[in-house]
Amino acid sequence: MKDVIIATLIYFATMNNKKLYWLCQLIGWLGMVAIETINYTFFIVGKFDINLLKVLLICAVGGMVLTHLFKIILSKTNFFNKSKARIWFVALLSTFILSVILVLVIFIPNLFEKKGLESLKNHTPIYFIGLVMNWMRYIGVWIIVYFMYKILQQNNIIIKEKMMIENLAKTTELELLKTQLNPHFLFNALNSIKALVIINPEQSRDAIVKLSELLRFTLQYGKERLIPIKDEIIEVRKYLELEQLRFGKRLTVEYDINENTLSQTVPPAIILTLAENAVKHGVTKELQDSIIVVETSLNDNYLVIKVKNNGHYNPADAIGIGLKHITKRLEEIFQNKAEFSIYQEDTDVIATIKIPLL
């Protein structure tokens, strides 16, 4: 029995909408025939009447035709974009009108027979109202089910369109941030080269090589969603070595890289951006010697990345292009599962990224 139920559910799930619609129509109206026949046979007259069955089958066909025509009319309009109150008012009114039409269809054959006309005269208005109310039960169920389906379908379309618009907006914003970030990095690096050329021309060649490699990395990183930390650290070292050539003994760099983190992946240039931020807002503003510490560790199923520099944290620095870019990329890739924070701890400014382990 369980296998039969599962097979039936799979069959319904794989049917196209058109086939499923007609199957529901057939099952629904034949169900009406069955209910009315059982009710009449066992609870009203106590015997089976073949003529009643014929009438009910005619009603079922009429009901299918009427509701299908109603569906076609609705499909040619944007009716389900209207307010919910208007939709359900029309649903109630349509239930009544379709029921009246169905009752009239039932009695049309009587207009061509003398006995039929006489029987019509014997029926009171209450009798016809009762018939309309009876058929409103079945027409009403059809309209409620169909309207609920269309409303849910319309809501799903709206939700999908909203998600597409939001994703497009996020993608566009990220692309704009990327186009801003490359000139931002280049400006900082060229400042370092300019200072180095004046201070130590012999070392400027090595600096230019490092700069070209860093530029190649920043120009290509947009093609990759995630890269291994070991590749990211290589570029961070190049950048900080370039800055050390610029600042000389004023800048010390330390690395505390957990070996187990090297195979983990991060968005490209994300640690590099933190290093740039530490130089721009830390080292360049400090008159005394500066130290930058780059750390990676594993903690509670998270990859933790920290970049520390001595100095004073100014919240206004956190709204720059680089840090804004970090926040947007983490949201895009990890949704709400990744964390980014920057804060003051004693004499150090610490920027921390926590990324869930993949």
pLDDT tens track for 110-136: 555 555 445 555 566 787 788 889 889
Main-chain dihedrals φ then ψ at residue 262, nearest 5 degrees: -65, -30
pLDDT at 122: 58
Q: For 154-160, what is the mean pLDDT?
A: 82
Torsion-angle region of 347 (φ positive above 0: left; ψ -120 to 50: alpha; else: beta): alpha
* CATH architecture, range 168-356: 2-Layer Sandwich (3.30)
Helices (runs of H) and strands (runs of E) counted in the chain: 10, 7
Give me the residues paired with residue 252 across strands.
291
Q: Is residue 177 predicted with pLDDT exceeding 50?
A: no
With beta carbons less than 8 A apart as the criterion, state whether 321 and 179 touch. no
Burial of 193 (0-12, 13-18, 19+ CB in 10 A): middle
Segments in 200-309 forming alpha helices (H): 201-220, 229-247, 270-281
Per-residue b/e over 81-106, b at no fewer than 16 CB within 10 Å? eeeeeebeeeeeebbeebbbbbbebb
pLDDT at 347: 87
The one-character DSSP state at 43 is I
Interatomic CA distance for residues 250 and 244, integer angstroms: 8
Q: What is the mean pLDDT of the chain?
A: 80
Q: For 40-52, what is the mean pLDDT?
A: 82
Q: For 77-87, what is the mean pLDDT?
A: 85
Higher-scoring residue by pLDDT: 151, 109: 151
pLDDT at 179: 47
In the chain, where the domains are located? 2-163, 168-356
Around 261, how many Cα atoms within 13 Å sit in the side-chain half-sphere? 22
Percent of residues, the chain, with pLDDT higher than 90: 21
